[in-house]
Amino acid sequence: MWPGRSSAALLLSLAIALSLTAVPASAATGWTVTGPSSRSPLTAQLTLEAGQLKLSAARAGRTVLAPAPVGLRTERADLSKDLKVLGQQQRVLAERYTMTTGKRKERAVRARETRFRLAAGDARFELVLRVSDDGVAYRYVLPDEGGTVVTGEASAYRLDPAATAWLLPYNAWYENQRVETTAAGAPAGEFGHPSLFQSGADFVLLTESDVDGSYSGSKLVHEAGSPTYAVKLADERVTAPGALRTPWRTAIIGDLATVTESTLVDDLAAPSKIEDTSWIRPGKSAWSWLSEHQSPRDFDRQKVYVDFAARNGWPYVLVDEGWSEDWVPELTRYARARGVEVLLWFHWQTLDTPQKRAEVLPKVKAWGVKGVKVDFMESDSQARYAWYDEILAETAALELMINFHGSTIPHGLARTWPHVMTMEAIHGQEQLPQPANNPVHPFTRNVVGSMDFTPVALEVGPRTSSVGHEVALPVLYESAWQHFADKPEAYDRHPNTLRFLNQVPTVWDETRYLSGHPGDEAALARRSGDRWFVGAITAGPARTVSTPLSFLGEGEWLVETVRDVPGSPRSDVQRESRVLRATDTLSHAVPANGGFAAIACPATPGRTTCDKPVQHVPGTSLTITPQDAGDRSPGSTFEIGAEFTADRPVRDAVLAPSVPEGWSVAGNPVWDNEFVPGEVLSGKWTVTVGSRTGKHEIPVAADFRDPSLDAPEVHVAKAVSVFVPPPVPADGASVSELPFVSASNGWGPVERDRSNNDQVAGDGNPLTIGGVTYAKGLGTHAASEVTVYLGRGCRSFTALVGLDDETTEPGSATFQLLGDGEVLAETPVLRGGSPAVALSADVTGVRMLTLRTTDGGDGKNHDHTDWAEPRLSC
């Protein structure tokens, strides 16, 4: 260990200059950089031959990476040939930092770095080469403050031609299945990071680190028969307005344990940009989309998932694609009163500009949402990385955690932005995978950062792996947010599985490789506090899996194992308890595609289980009056009252309302430092209505602490509904010109005077039904609802309705008109390609008019529904 000082994110950064003397190119043709310790197994050698630089790496004297080109090209110069080494500067780095996520919270780093000053003609640049005990990495530094345009890199890796390779055919969302081949025998094509190779006892995992909007992401390009893998940028031109530091070209090198346990990608990344990380909370999440695709549209069904999470002490529920802002604020209040926080899904294009993010993100934060899942970025371009930079800064400022789906892989992002809880970039559970690739992921994708595989599918999916295999996955697969794949009823039918899931953490103090080989089996141990968790899985025939327990400390340990019932691989797991020592081995017979999991804790007198109690928030009661304040005009006032009780002692209870911007409230919060059962916390406040029309909610919340809980604060709220009426529509008004009281849509937002098209607001086409184009109307997607205010001032409604012509396949839908919740008129099932159908209704006396579409009974695909020329007589 080396001396240091503590801080939240960067505990120690020590740089020792070892040589500052310039070394002319003529003085040497080769330079060797060794690992940081005298016993380090790794060396990297840079050679200069005929003006070209090449880099190689060796482990324990064995060549792991043969000499391969180094360099890059810009619009001004080719920095890959006719090179001269002008000098070098060396240093040893010793660094500590703390993570909020990952395989190990506390990180200690040592590395030896050499900075080579290079010239190609008049052009100058630097190559920074770093060697640690678990890998070799290099990056380019272009000092031109006037800016640079990079047109490509010469960077490449040359492997043993016969090395076994586990490669990911490239797409920009990294969700293909990996293929096992050889370095030279792989087909020609593009492959994604990270790529794993094995030559004898040596493994190499190729990837990159510290990629941001100053550069482009990359992939590996391979020619048939060649053992060389060249780096290709996602952009043909990468523009830097000033000096440039490229990402690290990174090779994690070692035995399989070294590669699996490596934190090199995070070690190379930029330090945290967030000083206070106390608001960042990893945890387990109930998630409904995979097992019930339509359930994110169903408020009542989402409450079932909330209740399930609350019963089992899971801190989150993820509401995926389809949620409505009509009910998410209420769901959030319902969840938080039960100790569960809400996470919301977004298509990235709804957040692709500063204006959209400024509108959406503060709004969901005000609802009480704690984090967002952002999907479908599907690009490694510099422009997309610049977007990552922007949304990461903005969500951090709002203290919103984030999960990226349809994304690139982690590049040390969770070190730089600790609120990144997980990223997808995996052929995960939503692809309904066969188990063959499952033992590959711990040695490839999950090495470089949290992986949102969404594990533990018991009754959803192909069901070709055993339950023991599934229950091991949340130990084997690290993800700071672990979104479980199945529905509450499935887990309730597997109580031993559920009991284990309730215990498994999602962030770790330590990770150890135990046994296994990519594609065959994998076993890891991870520590949280004084408890070790073991996960082991196999792919292929039944066998006995043995894992050493040498990671345990001295003395006796209580080991509780959950494994498949012999002969019943799809039934609930069985539990077994034994007292073992670090010298023992955990061995179990597992079925085909099987596995097991275990918890180990110190065996103390009287201890019968390693389980910790599942935490539940206190039972509370909050009553508010009125619940609905009705219609209120701007500037008017009304009174709110509230009473709060709790069924066990709590501290620092505060009761207060909050009002929208432009509204005001008279009266102070009420509070009680020591609040006990039987007490009532009550208050009254006078609210003055603001000028903005539409539906509003005035939440009244009781916030308090319970010292027995890990959660920093419990939030219990209910809301008073208020409606500020807009003007009654003018005679002849089109519905597309009116403010929406509420709107929900089956895909993307409701469009005004445009078709629905895709996810982005304003991306629609002209409204076209049966070959006829219409100027005015609404573009929706079944199932949809749009409600507008008539104020009992209109007489009739007319429209032409049908399926828009923009879809390539016919959809089907029905159209309904509702007045104050009662159906006034409806169509039969209409299909794409047919002419528009007239739909009209008498709306005399109607206060709220709703335009609704439903799918035609065959699902929502292609159901782009148009309300053409929707006119009111008022």
| 355-364 average pLDDT score | 97
> Quick one: what percent of the chain has pLDDT higher than 90?
92
Question: Which residue of the set 375, 560, 672, 869 is catalytic?
Answer: 375
Give the Cα separation of 79 and 502 in Å (integer): 55
Give the Cα separation of 497 and 564 in Å (integer): 10
Give tens-digit pLDDT for 321-339: 999 999 999 999 999 999 9
Burial readout 646-674 (b: 16 or more C-beta within 10 A, e: otherwise): beeebeebbbbbebeeebebeeeebbbee
Strand partners, 158: 66, 228
Backbone angles phi, psi at 723, to 5 degrees: -120, 125
> Quick one: what percent of the chain has pLDDT higher than 70?
97
The tokens of 766 are what?
């002209």
The tokens of 652 are what?
């620092």
The 3-state DSSP class for residue 765 equals coil
Q: Do 493 and 308 form a contact (C-beta atoms < 8 A)?
A: no
Residues 6+ away with beta carbon under 8 Å from 237: 75, 149, 150, 151
Residue 712's pLDDT band, with cuts at 50, 70 and 90, is confident
Hey, which CATH number is domain 283-602, 3.20.20.70, 3.30.360.10, 3.40.50.300, 3.30.9.10? 3.20.20.70
The tokens of 656 are what?
């207060």
Element (H, E) at 871: strand 864-873
| 216-238 average pLDDT score | 98
pLDDT reading at 46 higher than 60: yes
The predicted structure's pLDDT at residue 368: 97
Identity of the amino acid at 566: P
Q: Is 869 a catalytic residue?
A: no
Residue 369's pLDDT band, with cuts at 50, 70 and 90, is very high
Q: Which CATH code fits 620-724?
A: 2.60.40.10
- Tell me, yes or no, if the two domains 10-268 and 620-724 fold the same way: no
Q: Is 300 a catalytic residue?
A: no
pTM (predicted TM-score):
0.92
pLDDT reading at 477 higher than 60: yes
**In degrees to the nearest 10, what's the CA dihedral of 27, 33, 37, 39?**
-100
Give the Cα separation of 381 and 169 in Å (integer): 18
Of the candidates 791, 783, 831, the residue with the CA atom closest to the CA atom of residue 811 = 831
Question: Which residue of the set 430, 452, 478, 572 is catalytic?
Answer: 430
Residue 14's pLDDT band, with cuts at 50, 70 and 90, is very low
Indicate the domain borders of the chain. 10-268, 283-602, 620-724, 735-873
Of the candidates 529, 452, 527, the residue with the CA atom closest to the CA atom of residue 484 = 452
The predicted structure's pLDDT at residue 28: 53
Residue 10's pLDDT band, with cuts at 50, 70 and 90, is very low
Give tens-digit pLDDT for 448-468: 999 999 999 999 999 999 999
Residue 12's pLDDT band, with cuts at 50, 70 and 90, is very low
Residue 711's pLDDT band, with cuts at 50, 70 and 90, is confident
Identity of the amino acid at 600: A
**Which fold would CATH assign to domain 10-268?**
Beta-galactosidase; Chain A, domain 5 (2.70.98)
| 771-792 average pLDDT score | 96
Would you tell me the crossing angle of helices 328-336 and 299-312 to the nearest 10 degrees?
Answer: 20
Residue 858's pLDDT band, with cuts at 50, 70 and 90, is confident
Give the Cα separation of 284 and 502 in Å (integer): 9
Give tens-digit pLDDT for 650-697: 999 999 999 999 999 999 999 999 999 999 999 999 999 999 999 999
Give tens-digit pLDDT for 25-44: 444 589 999 999 888 899 99
Class of domain 735-873: mainly beta
